[in-house]
Amino acid sequence: MNEPTDVIVDKNSTSLIICDNGNRRIVRWSLENPEDREIIIEDINCWGLTMNENGDLSVSDRDNQAVKRWRKGTIVAGGHGRGNKLNQLYNPVFIFIDREDTLYITDSDNHRVIKWRKDAKEGIVVADGKESNQFKHPVGLSFDAENNLYVVDQSTI
């Protein structure tokens, strides 16, 4: 590994899926047999990973300013170049997917958290640091049982 940035547990295959950012790849690492490792995605500037209840893996791709659902590398958010329009991202970092397949993305260099509903053509800003001075570079995000959003801000304002 070289600069791993995220890890999730794949319950279907009893393995870890690791974003090995420094090596520009995503690897699957068996929890039952640590010697059983495989590269599942190569040549990607990944940062964040999430998996829905169907076992579909989503990956933030910072080179393409997009989030991709991985089986065929289908773009499900962004992908229209770097920018701050609602159909663009600028350094997507960590991602979370809910039961309705809505993606929540820390769009770090746009200083916002944006949600992207399944099959949407653009996102909806749910927290914006530029206008409200809430945060400067959001990176991590999580929800609690009451559906409150928590955001990790990498920089101070």
Min mean pLDDT across 22-26, 83-87, 141-145 is at 141-145
Average pLDDT of every residue of the chain: 90
Instruction: Evaluate whether 7 touches 19 at the Cβ level (below 8 Å).
Output: yes
Nearest to 111 by CA among 65, 155, 51: 155
The token pair at 35 is 């010697």
Nearest to 122 by CA among 92, 79, 63, 73: 79
Mean pLDDT for 84-113 is 93
**Segment 11-49, tens digit of pLDDT:** 888 999 999 999 999 999 999 998 999 999 999 999 999
The whole model's pTM is what?
Answer: 0.87
Count the Cβ atoms, other than its own, within 10 Å of residue 7.
13
Indicate whether 157 pLDDT > 60.
no
Structural domains in the chain, sorted by start: 4-153 (2.120.10.30)
Residues 6+ apart with CB under 8 A from 143: 96, 98, 104, 149, 150
